[in-house]
Amino acid sequence: MVNTRTALIAGNWKMNLDHLQAIAFVQKLAWALDDAKHDYAAVEVAVFPPFTDLRSVQTLISADKLKVAFGAQDVSAQESGAYTGEISAAFLAKLDAQYVIIGHSERRTLHNETDEVVAAKTAAALKHKLVPVICVGETAEDLEKHGPSAVPVAQLEVALGQVSADSEIVVAYEPVWAIGSGQAATPEQAEQVCAALRSTLREKLGDAIADRTRILYGGSVKSSNIAGFMREPNVDGALVGGASLDVNEFAGIARFPQHVGL
């Protein structure tokens, strides 16, 4: 089957850039992409700023009709109520956020998010028509003990608990050992796990969702290594951390078709 999936280059800012810096950044990003005649229909570009930036980013994108998409870095599994500090999917939907990152390894390790929490957050996002970017990935220790795809596949199986065959989701494979280490996986390693994740989608939810769901690779992606990943048949984009904080570098990643020869 021919791959008709639109590539997605997503920038996870983590806890960087305040709302004023966010406005300047998104403006510059849009200019850089426009200057390069970026084809957004071929490569979608999305940013994931901190919660406090989202309203500013939304206002800018809507006023200037920018084609950059945006999402949040986390969401509550709860609908509303006495959950101090939490942000509901309804609030994010009201801000026109299209996406939300769920189960990033930093939330799994630093905030003890289990696979069950990830599944509940995924369901909350889908209920409000947000596209969950479900993150999975193994530690170096997992890799040694269980091989390359066992842990990410097991994480995805639980996360899909309340996902149905007609849901729109994105899956991001982010090996923990590659995040922020400068030591990216090889394109072959990424392809092997992304292919296994696609098979999991196929087995659990059918061909249509497996064929249309974008599976991203994340972990030390830069403009100089994106081409190798994007040549792989089961890698449909990247979730970028550090390199998404530099406008020209991030725009360079989004412009991968120009240096990949695709």
> Which active-site residues does the annotation give?
104, 174
Are the C-beta atoms of 176 and 105 separated by less than 8 Å? yes
Nearest distance from C-beta of residue 80 to ligand 13P, angstroms: 28
Residue closer to ligand 13P (CB basis): 33 or 216 = 216
Are the C-beta atoms of 218 and 172 separated by less than 8 Å? yes
Residue closer to ligand 13P (CB basis): 47 or 205 = 47
List residues near ligand 13P by CB under 6 A. Answer: 12, 104, 174, 179-180, 218-221, 239-243
Q: Which residue is nearest to ligand 13P (CB)?
A: 241
CA-to-CA distance for 132 and 2, rounded, in angstroms? 24
Residue closer to ligand 13P (CB basis): 132 or 241 = 241
Are the C-beta atoms of 247 and 25 separated by less than 8 Å? yes
SS3 state at 103: coil
Nearest distance from C-beta of residue 52 to ligand 13P, angstroms: 19
Nearest distance from C-beta of residue 252 to ligand 13P, angstroms: 14
Enumerate residues 6+ apart whose C-beta is below 8 A from 66. Answer: 26, 30, 60
Nearest distance from C-beta of residue 37 to ligand 13P, angstroms: 26
Reported residue count of the chain is: 262
Other Cβ atoms less than 10 A from the Cβ of 86: the count is 14
Token code pair at residue 160: 């899909």
Per-residue CA distances from 216 to 78, 92, 172, 174, 250 (Å): 27, 22, 5, 8, 15
**What is the distance in angstroms between the CA of the first residue and the CA of the last residue of the chain?**
18
Residue closer to ligand 13P (CB basis): 46 or 205 = 46
